[in-house]
Amino acid sequence: MAASQRGRSGMDLWMQERNAQLRQGASKLYGLGVQAYAEAIRKGEQVKARTTAEVIDLGRDVARRIDMTKAALQSKPRPVTSAAPVKPSPKAVSPSSGPGPVAAAKPSTSSGSAKEQLRAAVSGAADEFTFGLADRVLAAGDALAEEGLRNFAQNYQANMEQKRADDEYDARHYGLARNSGRAVGMVGSLAAMGAPAVARSAVVLAPRVFRAARSGASVAPALTPALSRGAAQAQKLGIKYGPDPLGLTKLAVVGGAGAGATDQYVGDMLTGRQTDLREMAAAAVGGALGGLATRYAGATAGGASGGATTSVLQDFVRGDDVSFDNALRSAQLSGLLGGVASRYLTNKVSNFPSKIKGNFGEVMSGLKAVARDDDILQQQARVYLKPVSKPKEYTVADHVLRSPDGQVRYNESKLGPSATLTDRQVQAMNQFGDRYIVDHWRFADVGKAGGMAVAPFGFTLSDDEPSRWR
């Protein structure tokens, strides 16, 4: 009898422990189900009220996927390195008294969260500043630190997957901080393209400024761009060193719009996409804004602003949600193409023979005259000067123009910092006043035009979405 009682008491104890384990497991599954249910609500998915049994089933499915993930990770043991930041685990949601909807846990606003915000911003800035190379370099370094060249490819791929997961985590939980950092990194990468030119200018100007300051003279002349014969003469004559501004802004806007639409059409042809007029109109508007920015801030800034604008407008005309990622990628690539093309053409034109340089200047002045609505009556025409003498004195104007109000004007085009006005051209300027237009183009102006023409291809190359209008 005593043995029978001891058997029953042992069985009861085993049953109690078993029931406790089952209750603990069911509670754990219920908690996982509640978290999955709350996550679905947070994402805006359509959900229905769940019974307790359904919530437990949902938790069981989550637990099964967790076990599969653990098994996949354990199949390739990898040491934990400091390169992969430890992500805070989701805040546990306590089971509610009923099966109704459960509010999703919000990210913590503690100082730890502030550090994570800063880390996400720095990570985003590094990604964009290095054009995505930072993650690859870190992944390769970690792979070498783990096993050297042994299994390098597998370790590198695993590290890259981890870093992509980290970036996705930051985008989901710290989106504003990461995107702000990415925007700063993109601007920094484009600004860095002009660093060599800034350094060269500093080397040239620093001695001039030092000598002027030491002698007590004004430093303003030392800061005058390119104290060449052309710039010095323009300053002496009281005219602007550079092209006459009348019509220049309109030329930049119209030229940028034409470049945007043309590059869109050519890009569609190269990628086999069917061009839609709405997409071309969006590209033209983006190109126009890029041309305007190029006029005042250079081809890099112009390309970036035009690329971002085109991306946003094309998302709009396609009926898509505006993508910050696409806009950032388009801005970066367009700015890069515009800056590289501008610098290349600037250096190239400076080495051309004088005759070809003159042709460049004349073409640009002719286009600007058309932009300000002038009619070109003649090219390379003689303009006779007063007082009349024998033989008659004259100068040859590059263009004879007629403005919309019927006034006849004469245009003289120069290109390069050393180009100067002849004595007869100075006499013509004094005789005709504002009717004698001097366009003193710089090599950088030709570079801007080339960068403005090439930059819109940045959006075309970054746009991987097929046309909706087939």
Q: 182 vs 91, which has greater pLDDT?
A: 182
In degrees, rounded to 5, the angle at the alpha carbon of residue 311 between the alpha carbons of residues 307 and 314 is 135
**Six-digit token string for 398:** 């590059």
Assess contact for 361 and 244: CB atoms under 8 A: no
Residue 337 lies in a domain: yes
* 357 and 432 inside one domain: yes
Same domain, 64 and 138: no
Looking at the structure, tell me whether residues 365 and 430 fall in a common domain: yes
Is 65 in a helix, a strand, or coil? Answer: helix
Are 53 and 184 in a shared domain? no
Domain that holds residue 56: 2-74
| Domain contains 105 | no
The last residue of a domain, from among 192, 208, 242? 192
**Confidence class of residue 450 from pLDDT cuts 50, 70 and 90?**
very high
Same domain for 469 and 403, yes or no, is yes
C-alpha closest to that of 439 among 238, 236, 242: 242
Q: In total, how many domains does the chain have? A: 3
Phi, psi at residue 441, to the nearest 5°?
-70, 145
CA distance 345 to 342: 5
Q: Are residues 315 and 171 in the same domain?
A: no
Is there a single domain that holds both residue 37 and residue 181?
no
Are both 10 and 127 inside the same structural domain? no
Neighbours of 233 (CB within 10 A): 16
CA distances from 326 to 216, 266, 307, 310 (A): 53, 20, 10, 10
Clarify whether residues 272 and 383 are in a common domain: yes
Measured distance CA(167)–CA(134) in Å, rounded: 12
Q: What are phi and psi of 191, to 5 degrees?
A: -65, -35
Closest CA to 442 of 355, 367, 343, 346: 346
In a domain, 81, yes or no: no
Q: Per residue in 297-319, pLDDT tens?
A: 889 889 989 999 999 998 888 88
Q: Are 301 and 329 in contact (CB under 8 A)?
A: no
Domain endpoint, select from 172, 192, 212: 192
Co-location of 70 and 125 in the same domain? no
Residues 59 and 93: beta-carbon distance below 8 Å = no
Q: How far is residue 178's CA from residue 190's CA, in Å, rounded to a whole number?
A: 18
Query: What's the pLDDT at 376?
Result: 93
| Residue after which a domain boundary falls, among 13, 47, 74 | 74
Residue 347 pLDDT > 60, yes or no? yes
With CA atoms as reference, report the closest residue to 452 among 299, 296, 251, 262: 299
**Among 465, 467, 384, 376, which Cα is nearest to 432's?**
384
Q: What integer best gives the mean pLDDT of the chain?
A: 75
Report whether 448 contacts 298 (CB < 8 A). yes
Sheet of 436-441, strands arranged across: 375-384, 394-402, 408-415, 436-441
Q: For the chain, what percent of residues have pLDDT higher than 70?
A: 65
Copy the structure tokens of residue 77: 């043991």
Distances (CA, A) of 164 to 84, 114, 171, 175: 11, 22, 10, 14
Instruction: Kindly report, residue by residue over 233-272, the tens digit of the pLDDT.
Output: 777 777 777 788 888 999 999 999 999 999 888 888 877 7
Domain assignment of residue 372, yes or no = yes
- For position 342, what pLDDT does the model report? 92
Residues 133 and 237 both lie in one domain: no
Looking at the structure, tell me whether residues 126 and 187 fall in a common domain.
yes
Give strand pairing partners of 410.
400, 436
Q: How confident is the model at residue 345 (pLDDT cuts 50, 70, 90)?
A: very high
How many other CB atoms are there within 10 angstroms of residue 368's CB atom?
Answer: 26
Comparing 144-148, 279-283, 365-369, 411-415, which segment has the lowest mean pLDDT?
144-148
Which is more confidently placed, 382 or 322? Answer: 382
Q: Residue 66 domain-assigned?
A: yes
